[in-house]
Structure 1
Amino acid sequence: MVAATLIEMIGGFHTVCCVVTQEFLEFARSRGNDLITPAPQHSFPGLEPGDRWCVCAQTWQDAADEGVACPVVLASTHEETLQIVALEVLVQHSFENNQSRFSESTS
């Protein structure tokens, strides 16, 4: 299982554990963060809709602001996320609470 840790990587802290959707992947790519293309030199497999991955809280918040946030796995999301994203917003987008709705958007 993927769990967010407070490790600073390129672009910020990857603290939001989520189930990526095509909309989110396209949004991130449009912002210069290509999560789709594999990067073997960084041991990055490339992501497909339905994959779980930890993303930067600010990227996720920006996606939420644009209406394309992907579902969040609350139990695996680091508490430092709350410095950027309101708990209410995370709960609203939680995978656990919206599994049936989000499963349609990942296929």
Structure 2
Amino acid sequence: MNRKQIVKVRGILESDGKILLCEHTKGLFYFLPGGTLEIGENLHQCLVREFFEETGLIVVVADFLGCLECHWEDDLTSYQELNMIFNVVTKDLSKLINKE
């Protein structure tokens, strides 16, 4: 069986007691904004890039909150996904758009 490790960076943006979530394109579930770390990026660069791509917001990465580890398999591959979770802040929520 093949093995694949994935590193993702996710951000929690809280405003007025609400947390921003992205809806999956097929509407099956919601997730924290963020995405897969690319070669040559650090965690903060990845989160700023992914947050902008998904929401149109420019964020500043704040506190590291922890790591969520997920495991699953399909017929051919065993996956390990590490989700690095950070608090993020932004100056202007009015720039929030539905990009993806």
| Range class of TM-score, shorter chain | under 0.3
Q: Give the structure with higher Rg (CA).
A: 2
Give the number of the structure whose residues are more often helix, by fraction.
1
TM-score w.r.t. the length of structure 1 is: 0.25
